[in-house]
Amino acid sequence: MVTRHGKICSFCGEPGSKDLQLIGGLGAQVCVTCIDDFHAIVHDEEKRAEAKGTFPWETMSDAEVLATLPQIMASAEQNTAFAHEWVDLLRERNISWAEIGRTLGVSRQAAWERFARKGGDKSESA
Ligand SMILES: [Zn+2]
């Protein structure tokens, strides 16, 4: 089932909760705090000027850059898990492995090998 439960913000790494709503698409999630921060950067001339041409990692210490790596990996894994959830959704809608493979530009077999759940969807031929 496609759900936001257990997801993290793809921008700050905070887990979504009742108090920190996530909004997203294509696997990426963004929390309302990040939306507010990005909104301020886009709509506040002074903040936009501050942010223009700079990247957050330019002012981060080595320890901060290192500490960010697990968050990047968690976000990447979340996106991969979302692709699996999406394929599950397609399968629930009886979309064939052949059509999923065709959409991804791979064979039916390759799509099945990549996305079929172990012990779950074994209907390789459908
Ligand atoms: Zn966030």
CA of 94 to the centre of ligand 1 (A): 35
CA of residue 38 to ligand 1 center, whole Å: 10
Query: What pLDDT digit, counting tens, does each position of 51-82 carry?
Result: 787 888 999 999 999 999 999 999 999 999 99
| DSSP one-letter code for 8 | B
Residues of the chain with pLDDT > 70, as a percent, come to: 93
Q: Is 12 annotated as a binding residue?
A: yes
Residue pair 111/101 in contact (Cβ under 8 Å)? The answer is yes
- Please report, in angstroms and rounded to a whole number, the separation of the first and last CA atoms in the chain: 20
In whole angstroms, what is the distance from residue 52 CA to residue 46 CA?
Answer: 10
Judged by DSSP in three states, 10 sits in coil
Distance, CA 13 to ligand 1 centroid (Å)?
6
pTM attached to this predicted model: 0.78
Q: pLDDT band for position 106 (50/70/90)?
A: very high
Q: Looking at the predicted structure, is the pLDDT value of residue 3 above 60?
A: yes
The answer on whether 34 is annotated among ligand-binding residues is yes
How many angstroms does the Cα of residue 88 sit away from the middle of ligand 1? 27
